[in-house]
Amino acid sequence: MNQNDNCRPHDEQEASAVADHFDAAYYLATNPDVQTSGLDPLRHFFKSGWREGRNPSADFDVGYYLRTYPDVVATGVNPLLHYVWAGKSEGRLPKRPMDSLRSNIEQARHPREKAGEWARVTDHGPCLERQLLTRRLAGVLSTKAVVVSISHDDYHRNLGGVQNVIRQERAAVERMGCAYLHVAPVAPLPLLAETATAQKLHVLLRLGSDHLGAATMEDLVACLETLSVAGARLFVVVHHLLGHSPEALATLAAIAAHGTIVWIHDYFTLCANYNLLRNDVRFCGAPQPTSGACGICAYGADRAEHMSRIRRFFDATRPLVLAPSETALEIWRTRGALPHRDVGVQPPARLVLARDPLPSVEPDRQLRVAHLGMPLHHKGWPVFATLARRFVKDPAYGFYRLGAPSDAQVSEGIHVINVQVNHDRPNAMIEAISEHRIDVVVNWSPWPETFCYTVHEALAGGAFVVANAGAGHVSAALRMIAPEQGCVLESEAELSYLFEERRLGPLVRDARRRRGVLIPESGSTPWIARVLDGDEFASSAPSVGSAAVMSLQD
């Protein structure tokens, strides 16, 4: 007797009634024991799953339905069956309203709480003695200059937008004959390091591609001071302050005769919640720390102190501030008002589109609509997932997610295409969009992104991009770079309308879609080069925003 024989076959009529509401892929992904058992998921749900509180799809919450409607409990009927047969027409809800956002709110926690759960990295050996460190760094004296680059983790081992910029920057400054010393906290943190431990903070050092080991900030500053006295020309480039002590960095910046650059890769200089999503759901715009909004935000408790420490750092260093987009710079300037010497815009990459457009999508072909990257709220996943689940039965559309596989957020109607962008395959996403003939990318970031790689990848892959007007650089880039290859919408209602009324098809077919290539830029290098050429720091740096536009017209 196999396991299936243990389950009494449920009534075929019942099975057929709930078929449209049961997501087998979701059920198996969220219940690995059922997957392992080999049981038919629908059969399992009918036999025991619903009684155990297992949900038949992301759109139906068994626990909610039974708690909300005790009369259903009294009947003993399978709640999904009740919903399909009666509840839906009676106006009963299959799950709590705004469930996804409410879950985010409930899980939002102050970074200090999260910090305790982050993996503690302790096995980095003893810190380098000051003399040994000085010897290891002595080689930089023979270089043109030393760029001391600060960020939140070891860019050599981790992937991401900031890490990309650092890699590109390092390669470019080394080509100029400079040394590149990268500094990251030994123990990454989702907030600033404690003030009290500022000088004793342990940091990881990487000179070029060589891992030097760990050192205290105090010893690092002392060594660099010695080297500076010996003639080394120091630049400090702060890519991220996460996990660092701004007080210790200020002492480091004080010995950098050629000034400090601070990047606004995100809004961490305004709040520890670096994408400014209040309670992890709504863009807040960085109001005053004393505002009611900060008062009820999970990140609000120490924001005044965070801002105060950051302000003291900016006050002490008066940096050149570089943002990856005009959008990011505008928000930072209007909301932060931190002291600085000058500002500039330096995109991490520029998109060059082909001259000739792609052939139009055939009128009868199903539109392939995709979300790029991980299924995360701050990347707009919930909006895409809701859309996909709503129109999954509509033959006009097929829904895809391109990115690393994830057990979370699996749904029968959303096909996952495994795409992993890494240092060896930086164009993997662009190639996948093209290879799988993705027609439309929906990018619904709920916050104003500072620079969005995925929208550039989508355009380079030849996709038509549908973006949220509040997504900052996403919508700005679309308007600026390829207005004929996408549309910017004001609300989710407009997005829904586009699909419901079949307006998307004509838009995509009439669009002048082109493929392109994404060419990496070189981070802070143009500004550093100016100084090395004897110019005033930043004052004559090119407006890279316009340079990027020009390059598109090449």
Partner 1 sequence: MSKVHCFTSATYAYLDRVGVLVETLRQRHPEWTFWLCLADGEPPGISIDLSRMGIDKVVRVTELGIPDLRPWLFTHDVVELSTAVKGPMLCKLLDHDATKVVYLDPDIAVFNSLSEVENLLDKYNVILTPHQVAPDEGLAAIVDNEIGSLKHGIYNLGFLAVAGTDEGKRFAAWWRDRLLRFCFDDIPNGLFTDQRWCDLAPAFFSGVHILRDPGYNVASWNLSQRPISIDKDGEIRAGGHPLRFFHFTKVTWVGEQMLERYSGGRIEVFELISWYRRRLAAHALAGLPEGWWCYGTYADGAPISKKHRRLYRDRADLRERFPDPFQAGAAALAGA
* Binding positions for partner 1, rule: CB under 8 A: 67-68, 96-98, 101-102, 105-106, 108, 278-279, 281-282, 284-285, 287-288, 291-298
CB 180 within 8 A of CB 143: no
Strand pairing class (234-238; 260-263): parallel
- The rounded distance, in Å, linking the Cα atoms of 59 and 76 is 21
Question: In Å, what is the CA distance from 435 to each residue of 31, 72, 429, 439?
Answer: 32, 49, 10, 11
Cβ proximity to partner 1: between 173 and 298 the closer is 298
Cβ proximity to partner 1: between 98 and 257 the closer is 98
- The rounded distance, in Å, linking the Cα atoms of 474 and 434 is 20
Cβ proximity to partner 1: between 248 and 385 the closer is 385
Q: In the structure encoding, which two tokens stand for residue 96, read together?
A: 């709590």
Cβ proximity to partner 1: between 293 and 374 the closer is 293
| Distance in Å, CB of 447 to partner 1, minimum | 14
- Alpha-carbon radius of gyration of the chain: 27
| Distance in Å, CB of 236 to partner 1, minimum | 33
- The rounded distance, in Å, linking the Cα atoms of 239 and 153 is 10
| Distance in Å, CB of 303 to partner 1, minimum | 11
| Distance in Å, CB of 61 to partner 1, minimum | 13
| Distance in Å, CB of 95 to partner 1, minimum | 11
Distance of CA 248 to the CA centre of its chain: 28
Cβ proximity to partner 1: between 5 and 117 the closer is 117
- The rounded distance, in Å, linking the Cα atoms of 486 and 463 is 8
| Distance in Å, CB of 550 to partner 1, minimum | 34
Cβ proximity to partner 1: between 108 and 320 the closer is 108
Cβ proximity to partner 1: between 160 and 285 the closer is 285
Dihedral of alpha carbons 183, 185, 189, 192, sign: negative
Residue identified by tokens 């342990």 is 202
Cβ proximity to partner 1: between 153 and 280 the closer is 280
| Distance in Å, CB of 286 to partner 1, minimum | 9
| Distance in Å, CB of 491 to partner 1, minimum | 12
| Distance in Å, CB of 293 to partner 1, minimum | 3
Amino acid at 113: E
Cβ proximity to partner 1: between 469 and 532 the closer is 469
| 258: Cα within 13 Å, side-chain hemisphere | 25
Residues 6 or more apart in contact with residue 376 via CB below 8 angstroms: none
Question: In Å, what is the CA distance from 522 to each residue of 1, 167, 182, 253, 542?
Answer: 65, 9, 16, 22, 13
User: In DSSP terms, which residues pair with 180 in a beta bridge?
Assistant: 147
Cβ proximity to partner 1: between 68 and 228 the closer is 68
Of 51, 47, 60, nearest to 21 by C-alpha is: 60
Distance of CA 369 to the CA centre of its chain: 20
Amino acid at 553: Q
Cβ proximity to partner 1: between 346 and 445 the closer is 445
Backbone phi, then psi, for 267, in 5-degree steps? -105, 30
| Distance in Å, CB of 208 to partner 1, minimum | 45
| Distance in Å, CB of 174 to partner 1, minimum | 44
Residues 6 or more apart in contact with residue 272 via CB below 8 angstroms: 111, 190, 191, 192, 299, 302, 303, 306
- The rounded distance, in Å, linking the Cα atoms of 228 and 217 is 16
